[in-house]
Chains A and B, each alone.
Chain A
Amino acid sequence: MKSARLPGLRSLRLALGAVRERTGATGAELYVKVGNTRRIEIDPWMATVTADPDDLQTQVSVLDERGWALRAGGASRALFLADSGPLPEPNGWRRLNRHSLRPGILRLPAARSGTAQSPATDTGEHSPDEEEAAGLAFLHDLLRRLGERIPEARLVRGRLDSGASAAVLASTTGVTARSGRRLATVELDFAASRDGRHGHCRLYRAASNLHLLRADSIASEIAERLRLATAAAPPFLPAGEVAVSPALGCNLLALLAPLLRGRDGWRRLQQLGAGHPLGPPQLQIVDDGGLDAGWMSAAFDDEGVPTRAVALVRDGEPGEPLLSWEDDGWSGFSAAGCRRRSGWRALPELCHSHLYIAGAPEPAESIRSGIVHGCYLLDRAHDGRCHATFEPSTNGGAGQLEEGRFEVDAIGLVIRRGTVLGEAPRVRLTGSLRQLLQGIRAIGDDLRFLPAPGAVGAPTLLLTGLQVEAVG
């Protein structure tokens, strides 16, 4: 079966005309999306990594998705309607009438110069057999390589998704846009027991293509994390420097995301600095919807507004806020295309696409080897704490943290003058959000992106002034 094709812009315009005529709406927008996904899941049978591939209980799904969403209305009445399947023909909107619009507001972006059609991207229909065989081969290869490193590891759950989607958008304000995306993600959950100590490890990785996921490097990452998670706790933890890997750096940056979007985030970010620089001069935090080779890269967001790189923190100082078109011109700042939909059923919402701390020229290896007495934290402990509080909570809030503080449970190593003194199966990194940014002493050159909502990227960071304590 071939994947569904997107309708042409002419079909969308005819449908918009029919909707306006039937409902009396002053404005309307149609968004149509098609996609296909191949999913391979390995059942939770605690398979040993050394098991025969034929013994793995693999479940394969081939999914075709297709749907559309209509927004119609004006200053006082509005409607959001989403449905699966193909876009109705112009005479297929008979169930809509003037009573379909209910009290509410509809605002749509206006067409701008530069809003042109992006080239259509096909949904990447590959031979299902080839894609499936490649996925299975990847999982088997990964298990084999992990078995070579840590034979006692057991696969708790594995899921590999590989797919493509394409969308087209048109509105009565003249905005039109097309976009296409390919993405492969792998979610793996492993457990191991060593010397009576149990440990887990969960990994979520993404690439723009299944063939770009590297079984060998992922197996290395899992083995490293399982070894740390099943290690004995160190007798003491040094309270000096903390170097964090790109994986943990991404988690820390994701915690800060509410500070880095919208008008409220901008106010909080400025309060965080309290008149002082937010971080060292080499600190640059950027959100870029059109990042070259990024997984989410698109010339336009899901409302058809052009994307661009927004320097949220520039040279350690607040740069500019991430604003949607509705806030264009607020405090003299320009908007960027930053409203995305999580699917055809969802309304567009302000969110990051590629949020990252730009890498600096310092080699990451020199940061790690330069730790005098401290910790190198590799990743968050998947069943541990990871949250931040931005305002006073009246009823507990997230984890009952004091305002403006964060805490993250992590796994890592204790290091003295470049030598590993011991392993830390679980430590809690805590501190103020201000200190988290202002305490950055070095930024590495190994920027890496991980999937969060969107993509979050960070290089190795050297942090000071934070508290590290053993947990459990």
Chain B
Amino acid sequence: MRSTANRAGPRPLLTSDVAAPADALSRLAAHGDQQFEVFFERLETVELLPQGAPNRLRVRKEQGLGVRRIENGRSRLAAADTISGPAFAACCDRVAGTARSIGTAPPRIRTGSWPALRLAELQRAESRLARAVNRRRVGFPMEITARRHRRQVQVIRSPIAAPPQFEEYFSLQVTTPWSVWGGLLPSLADEDLDPVALCLVDRLRSRGLPLHRRAPGVIVLGPNAAAVLLHEVVAHALEADTLGLSGVPDHVVGLKLGGPELDVVDDPRSAPLACKRSSDDEGTAVISRWLLRRGRVRQPLADLAWAERCPSMIPGAARRASRHRLPGPRTTHLELLPGTIPERDLFAEAVGGLYIGEFDRGNLDPLDGRCVLRAPCGRRIGASGPVDHTGPIEIRSRAVDLLAAVTAVADRPLAGGAGWCAKDGALMPVWARCPSIRLEGLQVAD
């Protein structure tokens, strides 16, 4: 069943001419080393809690702007919670350090309106998910919190205005008597809810089982779990600010991190339909960025500031949690290119091993490269594929060891593993598309 979501975007964030703030910014630069940009942002989150919850419907809207001066790798940001000419002029004064920095008359800045509140899709999420669970011949109590997130961004970096960006996606939190599942979805249509139902049923069948302590020789990660692993050990590890903690970021280019089967790309343009980006949160056009090409580092994730410091880096991966935060290099949509091995064969050579369908938590220590991944459950691999369920599994390993352990990549990539990245406390949605992968020779922590 197709989504009933109205994919028509809202009216443009700015209905006034973007040339006016662009002109104003161009008057600010005192010399050629200074760059000025303005970031306009509008967010809406509609949240529907389980029945019986107080204030079950929660609507949060906000808009504002941030003006930033970049000079020799240093930034100065001034942000306000309104979008208007006077607020823009005041922020310009703060970053320029002078009064009336853009002249006596602030530019005219007007915003468009959001479409009407639509709740039907959120209200139907509970029954659709229950049906998807019931199709697997089980049923159990669930409390569902469904949220729709919308974000509009317009960046003007003097003198160019980047195309306006619009993202719409959903998040679900499902509480059952034995666990809490949370994740992001591009829509609340049946095809996106079905994998959620599969995770919930796996958790039902593994409830109460003890921590899996036996270290298997082989682990097969499903697309969701593979996406989380790659997010931690490839995307985070190759963000310029993470690399800057232990050396000069562009020195890693060419470094071998894994086998030739690992081709990893970050491409915000191929994110799910309503989350595609053509420019990043600094207004730079995004690119299809090879993070790993045949297992070697090709192009780390960088924003303008890091590209200025490390000339071989290409900007276009800047993301901001909000107008109140400075941008930083982050992944948006991670893809592991498919291999040549059919998924059936991936399991055939992993009999006796462990299948992990999802990780619910992952963490990379940026200083020593240690990674911890936690799966709420797993399944033993038998001759016919995944069979008996197991309890939670925790994998502790160095990032390079995890990548070196990847010995096979399946041939069928699936969208999955989307979630909130919480690096440095800044929540950002991340998307992925991965096939299943097989790892050999890893230790499962006690």
Contact = CB atoms under 8 A, between A and B. Distances in A.
A79 interface: yes
B207 interface: yes
A445 interface: no
Interface residues on B, range: 35 or more
Contacts of B376: 395-396
Interface stretch (A103-111, A260-268, A429-437, A454-462): A103-111
Nearest to A154: B245
A469 B6 CA distance: 58
A82 B59 contact: yes
A1 B93 contact: yes
Interface string B387-403: 00001100000000000
A102 B122 CA distance: 13
A65 B245 contact: no
B76 interface: yes
Provide the main secondary structure of the chain A interface: strand
Nearest to A383: B365
A254 to B, nearest CB: 17
A73 B59 CA distance: 14
A45 interface: yes
Interface stretch (A54-62, A301-309, A313-321, A405-413): A54-62
Interface string B317-338: 0000000111000000000000
Contacts of A83: 60-62
Contacts of B271: none
B315 to A, nearest CB: 16
Contacts of B246: 46
B35 to A, nearest CB: 14
B326 A63 contact: no
B330 to A, nearest CB: 14
A4 to B, nearest CB: 8
Q: Main SS of chain B's interface residues?
A: loop
A62 B76 CA distance: 8
Interface string B222-248: 000000000000000000011011100
A366 interface: no
B81 A84 contact: yes
Nearest to A198: B368
Interface string A67-110: 10001010000111111111000000000000000111111000
Nearest to A104: B56
A45 B206 CA distance: 44
B81 A395 contact: no
Nearest to B203: A395
B179 A1 contact: no
A87 to B, nearest CB: 12
Given A1-B94, A57-B74, A396 B59 contact: no
Contacts of A347: 55, 58
Contacts of B93: 1
Given A395-B392, A400-B211, A79 B59 contact: yes
A143 to B, nearest CB: 17
B425 to A, nearest CB: 10
Contacts of A395: 178-179, 203, 206-208, 376-377, 391-392
B61 A61 contact: no
Interface string A126-165: 0010000000000000000000000000001000000000
B71 to A, nearest CB: 11
A150 B81 CA distance: 42
A368 interface: no
A104 B76 contact: no
B314 interface: no
A102 B313 CA distance: 51
A84 B62 contact: yes
B105 interface: no
Given A198-B368, A394-B207, A395-B178, A85 B81 contact: yes
A345 B60 contact: yes
Contacts of A46: 244-246
Nearest to A105: B54
B177 interface: yes
B178 A106 contact: no
A60 B96 CA distance: 12
B79 interface: yes
B392 A102 contact: no
A87 B143 CA distance: 34
A81 B117 CA distance: 12
B82 A86 contact: yes
Contacts of B326: 41, 59, 61
B53 interface: yes
Contacts of B61: 81-84
Nearest to B78: A62
Nearest to A59: B75
A200 interface: yes
A43 interface: yes
Contacts of A45: 244
Contacts of B73: 43, 57
A392 to B, nearest CB: 9
A104 B244 contact: no
B119 interface: yes
B57 A102 contact: yes
Interface of B: 49, 51-64, 73-82, 90-91, 93-94, 119, 177-179, 203, 206-208, 210-211, 241-242, 244-246, 305, 324-326, 365, 367-368, 374, 376-377, 391-392
Interface of A: 1, 37, 41, 43-46, 57-67, 71, 73, 78-86, 102-107, 128, 156, 191, 198, 200, 345, 347, 383, 394-396, 400
24 contacts: A1-B93, A43-B241, A44-B242, A60-B75, A60-B76, A61-B324, A65-B81, A65-B324, A66-B81, A67-B62, A81-B61, A82-B61, A83-B62, A84-B82, A85-B81, A102-B57, A104-B53, A191-B367, A347-B58, A383-B365, A395-B178, A395-B208, A395-B391, A396-B391
